[in-house]
Amino acid sequence: MGLALAIHGGAGTIVRSKMTPELEREYRGGLEAGLVAGWDVLTQGGSSLEAVEAAVVSLEDFPLFNAGRGSVFTHEGRQEMDAAIMDGRNLKAGAVAFVRNIRNPIKLARLVMERSEHVLLAGDGANQFADALDVPTEPDEYFFTEHRWLQLQDAIAAGRVQLDHAAVRPVGTVGAVAFDRNGYLAAATSTGGMTNKKFGRVGDTPLVGAGTYADGTCAVSCTGHGEYFMLGVTAYDVAARMNYRRLRLEDAAEETVARLTEIGGDGGLIAVDTDGNVALPFNCEGMYRGWFTEGGQPHIEIYS
């Protein structure tokens, strides 16, 4: 039973042939920074909750991932972000959906958990909650990246809602799961959603049990085509298979992803249990991911 941390930076159609060595180095650097940020917290005796928050803040700040800075654009040309955090120690959670101009949506999610009676706040109301607590904001320019803007123009031209799985910039949701010295688990997930999304669509990221879950058994963060993770109740399904079928983490996570495949969903998940095991299964060409377990080496991978 040792410390454990896993992170992801999205999954989907990561086409190896479209990846340049320079770009791959950049992505690996972004993942490594997130892994180090979370691992430092754990080794300095911090909680799993603090570790997943630190890792996700780092991934949100990195402009190539679709979360925080560098989020994709909605149909109206806005950047709306979703995030959730869950503390397995006491089964508490906080989440926000389509907030705007919040520098680190994952920090706002934690404030919802700690400073409100609610689990999920959405839209203008969530921004009002952030204002009331003086949560740091940034102007639109901070979140803007040219490649996301071009993605929106492409998607509008093609007339489709697009998951953030473009071949050239194969990026998506970010997330982290951790197990700490005191034996507690936590999970965090953050995303800019879908390019060209309309009508106030909410995906799986901010929903407890769908994209994010942690209890006394395991912690899970998902990435992929959100609607299928919602219908499959994917994050909680891993815990249910462990608790009710007495499966090991790795087997439970594999079965959950197999079910996701069965119902037509693309993507993957990262998970950790109270023995410090990690699992990172996915059913697509690649998933940006990293993990670190006590006594082991840090790992960064992109393809399967």
Size of the site for a second copy (CB under 8 A): 43
Residue of the chain from 190, 241, 279, 290 that contacts a second copy (CB under 8 A):
241
| C-beta of 25 vs 245, nearer to a second copy | 245
What residues from 179 to 198 belong to the interface with a second copy (CB under 8 A)?
198
Angle of helix 105-115 relative to helix 123-132, nearest 10 degrees, comes to 80
Taking CB under 8 A as the criterion, the residue among 42, 54, 64, 208 binding a second copy is: 208
Closer Cβ to a second copy, 61 or 237, answer by number? 237
Cβ atoms of residues 144 and 168 within 8 Å:
no
Q: What is the DSSP letter of 153?
A: H
**Structural element, H or E, at residue 191:** strand 185-191
Q: Shortest distance, CB of residue 253 to a second copy, whole angstroms?
A: 14
Stretch that binds a second copy, among 42-50, 58-66, 176-184, 241-249 (CB under 8 A): 241-249
Question: Is residue 117 at the binding interface for a second copy, with CB under 8 A as the rule?
Answer: yes
CA dihedral 283→14→156→104, nearest 10 degrees, is 90
Six token digits for residue 259:
């079910």
**Tokens 């009331």 label which residue?**
132
DSSP letter at 72 equals: P
Mapping DSSP onto H, E and C, the string for 14-57 reads CCHHHCCHHHHHHHHHHHHHHHHHHHHHHHCCCCHHHHHHHHHH
Site for a second copy contains 233 (CB under 8 A): yes
- Specify the stretch interacting with a second copy by CB under 8 A; choose among 18-26, 35-43, 121-129, 183-191: 121-129
Q: Which stretch binds a second copy (CB under 8 A): 16-24, 172-180, 234-242, 275-283?
A: 234-242
Question: Which residues of the shown chain bind a second copy in the complex (CB under 8 A)?
Answer: 91-93, 97-98, 116-126, 128-129, 161, 198-203, 207-210, 213, 227, 230-233, 236-237, 240-241, 243-245, 263
